[in-house]
């Protein structure tokens, strides 16, 4: 199995933040603590599918 250090870092940072921490409004019930991938993508100005593939290790920046 390949080592995905970038994905590990992105997931760790995402799980440590809440929408309120970054000036976003929280909506819906969250099964897991932290920002949703879509929220991170909006903040980063990128497509949510691209961000998801970065976390999965499918693409490199």
pLDDT score recorded for residue 59 = 61
pLDDT score recorded for residue 18 = 93
The distance of Cα 47 from the centroid of its chain, to the nearest Å, equals: 11
How far from each other are the two terminal CA atoms of the chain, in whole angstroms? 20
Task: Give the separation between CA 18 and CA 34, rounded to whole angstroms.
Answer: 5
Residue ranges for the chain with pLDDT beneath 50: 1
pLDDT score recorded for residue 3 = 84
pLDDT score recorded for residue 58 = 82
């Amino acid at each position: 199995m390949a080592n995905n250090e970038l994905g590990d870092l992105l997931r760790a940072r995402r799980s440590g933040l809440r929408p309120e921490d970054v000036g976003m409004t929280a909506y819906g019930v969250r099964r897991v603590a932290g920002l949703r991938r879509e929220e991170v993508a909006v903040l980063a100005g990128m497509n949510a599918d691209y961000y998801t593939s970065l976390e999965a290790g499918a693409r490199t920046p």
